[in-house]
Amino acid sequence: MTHSTNSQTLPETAAETYLLTDDGIRRIRAELERLIEVRRAEVADDIRLSREYGDVSESTEYAAAKATQAQVELRIDELRSVLARARPLDFSEIRYDSAGIGAEVTLRDLESDEEWSLTLVSTIEADPERDLISIRCPMGEALLGKQVGEVATAATPSGLQRYEIVEIRRPDGLS
């Protein structure tokens, strides 16, 4: 799949590539490692303990442990799939004349006049608490393709919000 620098989206099919920051790839690898090396063993212990209580056919502890095991294995499979299709985002390929994946965007809330910055990323590595905003969420979609000085309108839980784009740049701390 060929990606244009500021209109990149997440894969629609299994054969496409996920564009991720190096930090995003590191965080996914760390989660995968923790699930394989720590969480699997914890769940196996829970299953063993629940078997000690007797008949597993009526044990809610056993059923819960098996359900947790299935969730852990599903997440492991998902993360392996993402990593198999991940491509590090090359910041040298990104244009910063409009908002797109990999860009840090400084916004000014037109109602409160407050400014803040966020980085547009793929859905896989979105983390609103760290101001990593998915290009597929309402805010990300509202910003895509906008240039400095333009106004983006995004649907938020508190209603429609209008933001002026103050600056678009390469994010600090992401590579």
The CATH number for 49's domain is 1.10.287.180
Instruction: Please give the residue range of the domain that contains residue 52.
Output: 18-88
Measured distance CA(88)–CA(8) in Å, rounded: 13
pLDDT single digits (tens) 65-90: 999 999 999 999 999 999 999 989 88
Q: How confident is the model at residue 51 (pLDDT cuts 50, 70, 90)?
A: confident
Considering the entire predicted model, what is its pTM?
Answer: 0.72
Mean pLDDT of the residues in the chain: 86
Question: Structurally, how many domains does the chain consist of?
Answer: 2
pLDDT single digits (tens) 131-155: 999 999 999 999 999 999 999 999 9
Residue that has been written with the tokens 């966020």 in this structure? 118
**Inter-CA distances, 149 with 10, 30, 110, 164, Å:** 27, 39, 12, 6
Which of these three, 56, 88, 120, is where a domain ends?
Answer: 88
